């Protein structure tokens, strides 16, 4: 059974039109992460939440925002998507920081028209 | 900066043969390492992990070796099957760190 669920699996949006990607988890993990992954490159961390504490990576564009209304759900908002934002977006969770595996969802592939 | 890298971006092996995927890391503080498998259109899937107090750990058909002296990590897959075709990423972190550092990935192709 899927434990980190991302919806939708495929998302198409227009250039500049806001889009929201969602992630839910059944693991009751404290930490939720959002990654961007392009064409077989390694996942690139955008930001993460430890419970309600938000940490943004220094090089994450301002265009990207996140919300975590409760333990189970986390959202990625892209305010004005550009062509360069077309990618796979991966959500992951871990019970805590440090020596813990992260558990990934199957991602949302975002296309920009 | 600190990084985790892979020596070979692609690897092809015959079905039934063993494969070895290598990874180098540079952060001497890293004490926890993970191998992930990512199939096309899916998210990375945890395969196996190892802590720095071990130099070898075995799973089902997979073995991870850790050489802390030369900061090298490898994943051995025994008797490869078509379903092993994927991109494999190593990742490293340390106690208290807030994120994983991923290697660049190796694409493993299993030839029939």
> Tens digit of pLDDT for each residue in B67-87?
999 999 999 999 999 999 999
pLDDT of A3: 93
Report, as an integer, the average pLDDT of A25-42.
94
pLDDT of B2: 37
Which residues on chain B are in Cβ contact (under 8 Å) with A98? 32, 93-97
pLDDT of B6: 43
Q: In 3D, which of A55, A51, A44, A61 has the Cα closest to residue A96?
A: A51
pLDDT of B69: 94
Å from B79 to nearest chain A CA? 25
pLDDT of A112: 96
Average pLDDT value for chain A:
95
Q: CA–CA separation, B48 vs B38, rounded Å? A: 13
Cis? peptide before B25, omega within 30° of 0: no
pLDDT of A109: 97
Cβ-nearest to B97 among A4, A97, A105: A97
pLDDT of B7: 47
pLDDT of B4: 55
Report, as an integer, the average pLDDT of A95-108.
93
Quick one: what percent of chain B has pLDDT higher than 70? 93
pLDDT of A1: 65
Average pLDDT value for chain B:
91
B104 to chain A: nearest residue by CA? A42
Å from B96 to nearest chain A CA? 4
pLDDT tens, position by position, A44-77: 999 999 999 999 999 999 999 999 999 999 999 9
pLDDT of B1: 33
Q: CA–CA separation, B75 vs B6, rounded Å? A: 11
**Residue B3 predicted with pLDDT over 90:** no
Contact A92, A66 (CB under 8 A): no
Q: How far is CA A76 from CA A8, A32, A43, A103, B61, in A?
A: 12, 11, 15, 17, 37
């Amino acid at each position: 059974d899927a434990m980190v669920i991302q919806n939708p699996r495929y998302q198409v949006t227009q250039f500049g039109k806001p889009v929201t990607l969602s992630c839910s988890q059944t693991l009751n993990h404290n930490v939720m992460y959002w990654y961007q992954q392009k064409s077989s490159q390694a996942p690139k961390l955008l930001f993460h939440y430890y419970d309600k504490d938000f940490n943004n990576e220094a090089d994450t564009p301002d265009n990207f925002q996140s919300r975590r209304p409760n333990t189970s759900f986390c959202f990625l908002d892209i305010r004005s998507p550009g062509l360069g934002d077309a990618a796979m977006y991966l959500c992951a969770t871990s019970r805590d920081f440090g020596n813990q595996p992260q558990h990934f969802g199957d991602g949302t592939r975002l296309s920009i028209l | 900066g600190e990084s985790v890298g892979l020596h070979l971006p692609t690897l092809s092996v015959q079905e039934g043969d063993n494969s070895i995927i290598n990874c180098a890391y540079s952060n001497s503080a890293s004490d926890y390492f993970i191998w992930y498998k990512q199939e096309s259109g899916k998210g990375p899937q945890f395969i196996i992990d190892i802590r720095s107090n071990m130099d070898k750990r075995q799973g089902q058909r997979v073995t991870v070796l850790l050489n802390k002296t030369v900061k090298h990590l490898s994943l051995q897959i025994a008797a490869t099957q078509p379903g092993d075709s994927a991109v494999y990423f190593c990742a490293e972190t340390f106690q208290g760190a807030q994120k994983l550092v991923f290697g660049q990935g190796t694409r493993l192709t299993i030839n029939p």
